[in-house]
Chains A and B, each alone.
Chain A
């Protein structure tokens, strides 16, 4: 991206809003002249609510789609306003920023897509990519965990993912309810059920830091080499251009050098208290 374009935002007009959970919403944005194909899986955009502020949000759309997709949970000032936007309203969008998932490296391998909570949106385009070329990726296992059944997002996509050639979707929740007949437990409890093939598996993981930590441990115990584990990290990205330092993790700027890292690249700094 040219340097001068880093801080200029485009106008994104809301075309549709989908309710994922009571506090999580998916915005479908029309960016004049730009399409989801301009945004790589795993990259993020800075979304700006006019007069309020900016937040970094993952790109959830797939290159084959028409509208840019962002899934936002109402947590702070900016995100609570983002989730209250109506169709026809506009926000500022700058991006795409950062390095995304190394999708090309998954070719010919068994792709493990491991997500926790709101870690699913940046992985959604990866799942769609894998489904779009089943002959190039040797099977995709989507292992997704949320706190409760009501916290699962993109539920309307599950049957399509499940039915896709070579795609398996396994769900788990931390706490079930009377209508939940699926697995209860953290996402790593899905690993033994997923028929993982360690010698040819590659893992893309996004979720809370603890979940990343234990997923990495379990995968390495199964014999998946560290070089084939990729994680997406979360920090307080503010300038998104590797300048301000709010998102620094040791020597890395998550906004510029990440948010997706190969595990060996960051292992001296993640997971590590206070870095």
Chain B
């Protein structure tokens, strides 16, 4: 929600605009931009939907509609990301199982 001021006639309109945590200046404030890299912004996107949101509300922050996969301008498939995370944690768990008990 932003206010657009018209310098000519002094009128102001209040408009709703698209906003996304993936845009570069989403968290920008006087101290600078805490999420400088695309990686950092993507991590926030994924973590919010699949970690912070379940912790806060008890459900995933994703309904699985697939729109982000269809329209991602650089071809990121969020299910690949989640499978990669899952595989990493399974590999780690297997490593723990395989190591002899100290």
Interface residues, chain A, CB within 8 Å of chain B?
50-53, 73, 75-76, 79, 208-209, 234-236, 244-248, 250-251, 273-275
24 contacts between A and B (CB under 8 A): A50-B12, A51-B12, A79-B30, A235-B27, A235-B29, A236-B26, A236-B27, A245-B21, A245-B26, A245-B48, A248-B21, A248-B52, A250-B47, A250-B52, A251-B51, A251-B52, A251-B55, A251-B56, A273-B40, A274-B34, A274-B36, A274-B40, A274-B43, A275-B40
* Contact call B28/A236, Cβ cutoff below 8 A: yes
* Contact call B3/A248, Cβ cutoff below 8 A: no
- Kindly report which residue of chain A lies nearest to residue B10, judged by CB atoms: A51
Give the distance in Å from the alpha carbon of A79 to the alpha carbon of B56 in the complex. Answer: 33
- Kindly report which residue of chain A lies nearest to residue B52, judged by CB atoms: A251
* Contact call B5/A51, Cβ cutoff below 8 A: yes
Contacts of A234 in B (CB 8 A): 29-31
Given A250-B47, A251-B56, A274-B39, verify A235-B3 contact (CB < 8 Å): no
Given A234-B30, A273-B40, list of 20 further CB < 8 A pairs? A52-B3, A73-B30, A234-B29, A235-B27, A235-B34, A236-B26, A236-B27, A236-B28, A245-B48, A246-B27, A248-B21, A248-B44, A251-B51, A251-B52, A274-B35, A274-B37, A274-B39, A274-B40, A275-B34, A275-B44
- Kindly report which residue of chain A lies nearest to residue B14, judged by CB atoms: A51
- B2 CB–A CB distance under 8 Å: yes
Given A52-B3, A234-B30, verify A248-B36 contact (CB < 8 Å): no
- Would you give the shortest CB distance from A97 to chain B, in whole angstroms? 15
Contacts of B29 in A (CB 8 A): 234-236
Contacts of A51 in B (CB 8 A): 3, 5, 12
Give the distance in Å from the alpha carbon of A247 to the alpha carbon of B31 in the complex. Answer: 12
Contacts of B47 in A (CB 8 A): 250
- Kindly report which residue of chain B lies nearest to residue A78, judged by CB atoms: B3
Contacts of A247 in B (CB 8 A): 27
- Kindly report which residue of chain A lies nearest to residue B41, judged by CB atoms: A274
- Would you give the shortest CB distance from A137 to chain B, in whole angstroms? 30
Give the distance in Å from the alpha carbon of A266 to the alpha carbon of B44 in the complex. Answer: 16
Contacts of B19 in A (CB 8 A): 244
Contacts of A235 in B (CB 8 A): 27, 29, 34
Contacts of B35 in A (CB 8 A): 274-275
- Kindly report which residue of chain A lies nearest to residue B19, judged by CB atoms: A244
- Kindly report which residue of chain A lies nearest to residue B43, judged by CB atoms: A274
- Kindly report which residue of chain B lies nearest to residue A49, judged by CB atoms: B3
- Would you give the shortest CB distance from A61 to chain B, in whole angstroms? 21
- Would you give the shortest CB distance from A249 to chain B, in whole angstroms? 8
Contacts of B2 in A (CB 8 A): 53
* Contact call A208/B48, Cβ cutoff below 8 A: no
Contacts of A76 in B (CB 8 A): 30
Give the distance in Å from the alpha carbon of A247 to the alpha carbon of B48 in the complex. Answer: 13
- Would you give the shortest CB distance from A118 to chain B, in whole angstroms? 9
